[in-house]
Amino acid sequence: MKTEVTVIGGGAAGLMAAITAKKNGRDVVILERKDRILKKVLVTGNGRCNLSNVNATNENYFGIEKQKQDINHILNNFLPTDVIDFFENKVGIICNEESRGKLYPLSGQAASIVDGLRFYAQNLRIPIYTDFYVTKVTKEMFEFKIFSEDKRQINSKKIILATGGISYPELGSNGSGYQIAENFGHSLTKLVPTIVQLKTEKHKIKGLRGIKLDAKVSAFGKNEDKFEKICTYEGELLFTDYGISGNVVFNISFVFPLYKEVEFEVDFMPKFDYNNLFTILKKRREILKNMTMEQYFNGMINKKLGQFLTKMSGIPKLSKNISELTDNEIKKICTILKKYKIKILDTNGFKNAQVTAGGIPLSEINLENLESKKTKGLYFAGEVMDVYGECGGFNLHWAWASGKFAGENI
């Protein structure tokens, strides 16, 4: 079979690239290794699909090769308002804005996005070949020859590589796209899991597994010899046996791939400032004067966590009488409640990461059209490139925006 444009990968970026190319008059097919397209989109946003973010700008995106990538023009070519317009007026999906600018389908179902895009592609008569695992691509003269694992072949003038990263491989993105690009002369930056649970120093979380609470977490990154504050998020923090998880960790984990060392500072009492907390704790010394430190945090913070933090603040015996607490000890408790420092040692791996940081370096791609600088006719879209976004709809936004850009320019 011969075609003009072949999109390898039926994920968010691939679908958007194929739809755009087709609408621009290209003869296009989609090849997908799994039995269905958009398998990853189906599980996004806890099955609700946080498809974009009204606040998406260049500031929300990073790269391993270069922290700030030159993708402004690609984002400007498909603004969040364009995403809303596309989904509402072309696909029939009403977008609903939630907290921090996050956009979801009003139906609350990621399946609506999958069905909507599938029907839209079908209406445009874009052939979709599922169970087509591309394992080899060659280029002879001006034509690409694309081979599947089961020896089927498609000849194509141009290809768009939209194979995603290497996270959640069971949903299709197993890193095979990187090898295809490497065979055409591309290199690969370091790959790091992101938007993921994090592993921490064990002694800082020992015995806390299962405790869930609202906390304010600030991330500090060390570049040269100095730690600098990167960002702060407030939300649910969950302690696990290996480290920390929860919304706030997913939001903040984007910093891990960017710095040599990362340290978090947890504020367990975001509702009170330091002085307020000091006053409250001194008052508790009076109210609870006949009790031991075991009861000091009762009704204030999770009991187990309170007892753990008491010990971390340097009070070894919970049998100590509360009335014996000195002002200095209360100050130490305040500091630990407001500025609990935890070193981040690693992530919980690609299997659990929503996104892969790193990929095909943008320096090897012509950013005016997303065509490879190494091989003419080879284009890129989505997460396969060295671009990743923060948590909150930014990664799908990049998939749509880069897919559209590649589809327009091919």
Positions touching ligand FAD (CB under 6 A) are 8-14, 31-34, 39-41, 43-45, 49-50, 133-134, 162-164, 167-168, 172-173, 176-177, 354-355, 382-383, 393-396, 399
Q: Which is nearer to ligand FAD, 281 or 406 (CB)?
A: 406
The least distance separating ligand FAD from the CB of residue 353, rounded to whole angstroms, comes to 7
Q: Which is nearer to ligand FAD, 37 or 205 (CB)?
A: 37
Q: Which is nearer to ligand FAD, 200 or 354 (CB)?
A: 354
One-letter amino acid identity for 110? Answer: A
Angle, helices 327-338 vs 303-312, to 10°: value is 120
One-letter amino acid identity for 390? Answer: E
The least distance separating ligand FAD from the CB of residue 336, rounded to whole angstroms, comes to 34
Q: Rounded to whole angstroms, how far apart are CA atoms 271 and 178?
A: 46
Q: Which is nearer to ligand FAD, 93 or 330 (CB)?
A: 93
The least distance separating ligand FAD from the CB of residue 11, rounded to whole angstroms, comes to 2
Residue 191 three-state SS:
coil
The least distance separating ligand FAD from the CB of residue 384, rounded to whole angstroms, comes to 6
Q: Which is nearer to ligand FAD, 235 or 270 (CB)?
A: 235
Instruction: Name the token pair of 137.
Output: 């691509």
One-letter amino acid identity for 333? Answer: I
Angle, helices 274-287 vs 327-338, to 10°: value is 130
The full DSSP string for 210-236 is T-EEEEEEEEEEESSS-EEEEEEEEEE
CB within 8 Å of 316: residues ≥ 6 apart: none
The full DSSP string for 59-103 is GGEE-SSSSS-S-HHHHHTS-HHHHHHHIIIII---EEE-GGGEE
Q: Which is nearer to ligand FAD, 80 or 382 (CB)?
A: 382
Q: Which is nearer to ligand FAD, 56 or 322 (CB)?
A: 56
Q: Which is nearer to ligand FAD, 329 or 364 (CB)?
A: 364
The least distance separating ligand FAD from the CB of residue 48, rounded to whole angstroms, comes to 7
The least distance separating ligand FAD from the CB of residue 311, rounded to whole angstroms, comes to 36
Q: Rounded to whole angstroms, how far apart are CA atoms 403 and 370?
A: 9
Distances (CA, A) of 229 to 48, 233, 235, 265, 319: 32, 12, 18, 10, 38
The least distance separating ligand FAD from the CB of residue 275, rounded to whole angstroms, comes to 39
The least distance separating ligand FAD from the CB of residue 370, rounded to whole angstroms, comes to 12
